[in-house]
Amino acid sequence: MVLERPRQALRPAELPDPEPGAGQVLVSVHACGVCRTDLHIVDGELSEPKLPLVPGHQIVGIVARAGEGAERFAVGQRVGVPWLGWTCGECRYCLSGRENLCDGARFTGYDVDGGYAELAVADERFCFPIPQGYPDEQAAPLLCAGLIGYRALRLVGDAERLGLYGFGASAHILCQVAAHEGRRVFAFTRAGDEEGQAFARELGAEWAGSSDDAPPEEIDGAIVFAPVGPLMTTALRSSAKGARIISAGIHMSDIPSFPYEQLWGERLLGSVANLTRRDGEEFMSLAPRVPVRTEVEVRPLEEANEALDSIRDGTLRGAAVLRVRPGGGSA
Ligand SMILES: [Zn+2]
Ligand SMILES: [Zn+2]
């Protein structure tokens, strides 16, 4: 499925098979997760995609062929391809262990074609082995919703009382990780979304309510997943001294001004950007130990537009995943 122009629906297309270059693998795609970032790209809020573009950066598939010098994975091995597709290795960020901030980074399904397709090429250094026991479709949301959520959780620090604002694909994974770590999770959904609140409680949240509600206690940190700037200050107003409030999205509406006394007391507002390969390795080894169970709404590839709509409307429970090759089983 191809994006020709922002603010237009994706359209089905027959493209020539991509060729793996040096150090790349050709991946036969089994499943690809649908992320809110894909929606920001389609809606034109991230304004510089390659065009035409095959979106999708939560790719699970098997290596069909290796390009010149690519030796990390055997043909037939299952791999995941995440958002971070390439880094320069030379800028000040790459050289200081912060490749997620690389000045020249290329992102899968944005700067290079992604996984809303039967075939994709990827730099083998940025692929991950997928933990056994996860069928392809359940594994796909680990690659961004899980991974970037995990990085956000690390940035929040060891907050015991954790607020999660927006209970979508990422929060439904992180809620399980946080509960596993012994944190107390307070989950916030859109007003009136009682189903979403019940879902959060099922996954280990101690309390779930509307983002207009105050939590039963102050929170020691929060991750804001919904792309709604005012939630940053809402979370701040409910926070204890020393709390870190982290935005996990790549795009957000403006954050309103607020009195300094709400920030006073060593509270921090921050953001999380992209991922490092180390985050990926850590999270892929942690997920089966929790164990994280992903709840997915699977659609065939041709229904990519409908899957994006379900994120836009907030009607989704868990994560949206496109099935590309029928019958992709577990490893
Ligand atoms: Zn770099
Ligand atoms: Zn994503």
Looking at the CA of 148, name the nearest ligand: 2
| Sole residue written with tokens 């795609």 | 29
CA-based torsion, 43, 45, 50, 55: positive or negative = negative
Looking at the CA of 86, name the nearest ligand: 1
Looking at the CA of 141, name the nearest ligand: 2
Residue 35 Cα to ligand 2 midpoint, Å, equals 5
Looking at the CA of 105, name the nearest ligand: 1
Mean pLDDT of residues grouped by 10 in the chain (331 residues)?
97 96 98 96 95 98 97 97 98 97 98 98 97 95 95 97 96 97 97 94 97 95 96 97 96 96 98 96 96 97 97 90 70 33
Q: Which amino acid is at 102?
A: C
Reference 268, options 248, 247, 249, 243; nearest CA is: 243
CB 232 within 8 A of CB 269: yes
CB 169 within 8 A of CB 145: yes
Rounded distance, CA 75 to CA 124, Å? 12
Rounded distance, CA 284 to CA 58, Å? 13
Residue 67 Cα to ligand 1 midpoint, Å, equals 23
> How far lies 98's CA from each of 16, 108, 248, 288, in Å?
35, 18, 17, 26
Listed residues: CB within 5 A of ion ligand 2: 35, 37, 144
Encode pLDDT of 102-150 as tens digits.
999 999 999 999 999 999 999 999 999 999 999 999 999 999 999 999 9
Residue 43 Cα to ligand 2 midpoint, Å, equals 15
Backbone angles phi, psi at 274, to 5 degrees: 60, -155
Residue 219 Cα to ligand 2 midpoint, Å, equals 26
Query: Which ranges constitute the DSSP H helices of the chain?
Result: 36-42, 136-139, 145-156, 169-180, 194-202, 230-237, 277-286, 304-313
Residue 260 Cα to ligand 2 midpoint, Å, equals 32
Rounded distance, CA 37 to CA 109, Å? 10
Per-residue tokens: 22: 């040096």
Q: What is the pLDDT of residue 236?
A: 97
Residue 166 Cα to ligand 2 midpoint, Å, equals 15
- Give the pairing of strands 106-107 and 84-86: antiparallel
Mention every residue, 6+ apart, whose C-beta is less than 8 A from residue 201: 187, 207, 208
Looking at the CA of 39, name the nearest ligand: 2
Residue 296 Cα to ligand 2 midpoint, Å, equals 15
Q: To 5 degrees, how large is the angle CA 245–CA 297–CA 252?
A: 30
Indicate the helix (H) or strand (E) that contains 207. strand 207-210
Residue 280 Cα to ligand 2 midpoint, Å, equals 13
Residue 142 Cα to ligand 2 midpoint, Å, equals 10
Residue 162 Cα to ligand 1 midpoint, Å, equals 32
CA-based torsion, 285, 286, 292, 296: positive or negative = negative
Residue 213 Cα to ligand 2 midpoint, Å, equals 28
Residue 327 Cα to ligand 1 midpoint, Å, equals 38
Count how many Cα atoms sit within 13 Å of the Cα of residue 4 in the half-sphere of its side chain: 7
Residue 275 Cα to ligand 1 midpoint, Å, equals 13
**DSSP structure class, residue 214:** P
Q: Give the three-state DSSP class for 293.
A: coil
CA-based torsion, 234, 83, 193, 159: positive or negative = negative
Encode pLDDT of 274-302 as tens digits.
999 999 999 999 999 999 999 999 999 99
Q: To 5 degrees, how large is the angle CA 195–CA 201–CA 204?
A: 145
Reference 189, options 239, 156, 220, 225; nearest CA is: 225
Q: What is the pLDDT of residue 315?
A: 83
